[in-house]
C-alpha cells in the first residue's frame, strides 16, 4: 500500500510525538520515577546514605578477609553506603562489636557465624531492634534460626567432600587436615567433609593460626613422624604457605592442597607447590551482603528466598592459574 507525501509526513510526525511522550513518561518525573531507587552519575545509587557494619571473626592481616572487605567496599561505593568494618578473632569480642553496632543504630549488620553460640544473642538483639542482619562465610545452618535475612557463602561440608574426591583422583592415601582455629565450626565441617569422601585415611591437626612459626613447626613435626602422609589439606591460603615450608623442612613428598585463593596460592600453583585450591569467592560474599541490605532497605528484597546463597566451592588447579593471576593480584579473587 503506498502513501502520499502528505500522509507519510503525518505518520512520521505522529511517531515522533509518541516517542517523545513515552520518553517523558519513563525517563523522569511522575509518581513512578519518584518511587523507584535511581542511580546517580558514575553508577552510584541516588538514594540516601545508609550505614552498614560488617563484623567478622578474622584477625588482622588475613588475605582472605582483605578480599571479603574489598568486595563489600566496592558494593558500598556503588550503593552509597558508609561501611564500618571491624573484626575480632575472639568470639566474645566479635559479639561485643555487634552490640556496639546496635548502639550506633546502623541501618544493617553483616556478621560471620564461625562460633554461633557466642553470636546468637547479639544477632537476635539486632533483629529485635529492627536492624536487618545478613550472615556470610560461616554458620549457614544457624543464619535463618538467628533471624538473618540471608547467608552468602559455601556449604563447608560439601566443599570438604569435593576436596576428598579430588584427593582420590590424585591417588592420595593418607591426609592430614590442618585446623587453624579451635572451635570454628566451619573448619571442622571442612575436614569432616574431606573424611567423608576420601577413600584413604584423614587425621586432623590442630594448630594456632595466628602463630605462623608454630604452624610450621607443628606441620613439620607431623610429617616427620608420619612419613606415609602424602597429602596436607589446609583450610586457609596463608596456612598453605606455612605448610609448604614445613613440608620442605621435613623432606616430605606430600602434596599440599588448600581452601581459598590469594595471589600467593595462584603463584604456588603455577610452580606446582600447591596441587589445587577450593575457591569460595570471598569477594562475592562481601559484595552480595552489602547489596542485599541495600536492596532490602529500598525494596524489601531478600536474595535466596531464605536459603543460603552459595558462592562456592570450585576446584581450581594450575590450569586456571594464569587467568586468575591478575584477579588475585587485585584482591578480587
Instruction: Encode pLDDT of 245-302 as tens digits.
Output: 999 999 999 999 999 988 999 999 999 999 999 999 999 999 999 999 999 999 999 9
Q: Which long-range contacts (CB under 8 A, 24 or more apart) does 219-228 make?
A: 219/176, 219/178, 219/243, 219/246, 219/247, 219/250, 220/246, 220/247, 220/249, 220/250, 222/176, 223/176, 223/247, 223/250, 223/252, 223/254, 224/250, 224/252, 226/174, 226/176, 227/252, 228/173, 228/174
Percent of the chain whose pLDDT exceeds 90:
73
The CB density around residue 265, as the number of other CB atoms within 10 Å, is 29
Q: Are residues 287 and 144 in the same domain?
A: yes
- pLDDT score of 20 more than 70: no
Grid cell in block for residue 237? 591460603
Residues with Cβ within 8 Å of 291's Cβ and at least 6 positions away in sequence, in order, are: 75, 79, 303
Q: Are residues 84 and 143 in the same domain?
A: yes
CB neighbour class for 277 (10 Å; exposed up to 12, middle 13-18, buried from 19): buried
Residue 333 to residue 285: CA distance in whole angstroms:
11
| pLDDT for 89 | 87
279, 300, 324: which is the final residue of a domain?
Answer: 279
Q: Are residues 83 and 194 in the same domain?
A: no
Q: Are residues 298 and 267 in the same domain?
A: no
Percent of the chain whose pLDDT exceeds 70:
86
Q: Are residues 250 and 168 in the same domain?
A: yes
| pLDDT for 8 | 40
Q: Are residues 146 and 188 in the same domain?
A: no
- pLDDT score of 32 more than 50: no
Structural domains of the chain, count: 2
CATH number, domain at 254? 3.40.50.2300
Place of cell 584423614: 202
Nearest CA among 103, 119, 134 for reference residue 57:
119
When the pLDDT of each residue in the chain is averaged and rounded to a whole number, the result is: 88
Grid cell in block for residue 214? 608454630
**Is residue 26 one of the residues assigned to a domain?**
no
Q: Are residues 124 and 207 in the same domain?
A: no
| pLDDT for 75 | 97
Q: Indicate the pLDDT class of residue 27, thresholds 50, 70 and 90.
A: very low
Q: Does residue 289 contact residue 148 with C-beta atoms inside 8 Å? A: no
Structural domain for 118, as ranges: 43-154+282-311
| Average pLDDT score over residue span 110-115 | 94
pLDDT digits (tens, 9 = 90+) for 64-110: 899 999 999 999 999 999 999 999 989 999 999 999 999 999 999 99
Compute and round to an integer the Cα radius of gyration of the chain.
25
**Is residue 224 one of the residues assigned to a domain?**
yes
**Is residue 31 one of the residues assigned to a domain?**
no
**Is residue 73 one of the residues assigned to a domain?**
yes
Q: Indicate the pLDDT class of residue 16, thresholds 50, 70 and 90.
A: very low
Nearest CA among 66, 14, 59, 45 for reference residue 332:
66
Q: Are residues 267 and 169 in the same domain?
A: yes
**Is residue 5 one of the residues assigned to a domain?**
no
- The SS3 of residue 39 is strand
Q: Which residues pair with residue 83 across a beta bridge?
A: 52
Q: Are residues 52 and 193 in the same domain?
A: no
Amino acid at each position: 500500500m503506498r502513501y502520499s507525501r502528505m500522509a507519510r509526513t503525518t505518520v512520521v510526525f505522529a511517531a515522533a510525538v509518541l516517542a517523545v511522550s513515552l520518553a517523558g513518561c519513563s525517563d523522569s518525573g511522575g509518581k513512578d520515577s519518584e518511587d523507584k531507587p535511581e542511580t546517580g552519575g558514575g553508577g552510584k545509587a541516588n538514594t540516601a546514605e545508609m550505614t552498614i557494619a560488617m563484623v567478622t571473626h578474622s584477625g588482622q592481616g588475613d588475605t582472605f578477609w582483605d578480599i571479603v572487605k574489598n568486595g563489600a567496599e566496592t558494593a558500598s561505593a556503588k550503593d552509597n553506603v558508609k561501611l564500618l568494618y571491624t573484626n575480632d578473632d575472639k568470639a566474645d569480642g566479635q559479639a561485643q562489636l555487634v552490640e556496639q553496632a546496635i548502639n550506633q543504630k546502623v541501618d544493617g549488620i553483616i556478621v560471620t557465624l564461625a562460633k554461633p553460640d557466642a553470636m546468637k544473642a547479639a544477632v537476635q538483639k539486632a533483629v529485635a531492634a529492627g536492624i536487618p542482619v545478613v550472615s556470610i562465610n560461616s554458620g549457614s545452618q544457624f543464619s535463618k534460626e538467628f533471624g538473618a535475612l540471608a547467608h552468602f557463602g559455601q556449604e563447608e561440608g560439601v566443599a570438604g567432600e569435593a576436596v576428598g574426591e579430588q584427593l582420590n583422583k590424585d591417588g592420595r592415601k593418607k591426609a592430614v587436615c590442618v585446623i587453624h582455629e579451635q572451635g570454628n565450626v566451619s573448619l571442622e565441617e571442612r575436614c569432616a567433609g574431606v573424611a567423608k569422601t576420601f577413600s584413604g585415611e584423614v587425621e586432623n591437626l590442630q594448630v594456632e593460626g595466628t602463630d605462623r612459626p608454630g604452624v610450621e613447626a607443628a606441620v613439620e613435626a607431623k610429617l616427620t613422624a608420619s612419613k606415609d602422609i602424602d597429602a596436607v589439606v589446609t583450610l586457609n591460603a596463608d596456612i598453605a604457605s606455612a605448610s609448604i615450608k614445613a613440608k620442605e623442612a621435613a623432606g616430605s613428598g606430600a602434596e599440599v592442597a588448600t581452601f581459598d585463593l590469594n595471589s600467593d596460592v595462584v603463584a604456588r600453583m603455577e610452580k606446582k607447590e600447591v596441587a589445587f585450591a577450593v575457591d569460595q569467592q570471598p569477594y562475592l560474599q562481601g559484595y552480595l551482603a552489602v547489596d542485599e541490605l541495600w536492596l532490602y532497605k529500598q525494596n524489601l528484597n531478600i536474595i535466596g528466598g531464605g536459603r543460603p546463597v552459595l558462592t562456592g566451592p570450585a576446584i581450581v588447579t594450575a590450569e586456571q592459574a594464569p587467568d586468575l593471576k591478575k584477579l588475585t593480584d587485585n584482591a578480587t579473587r
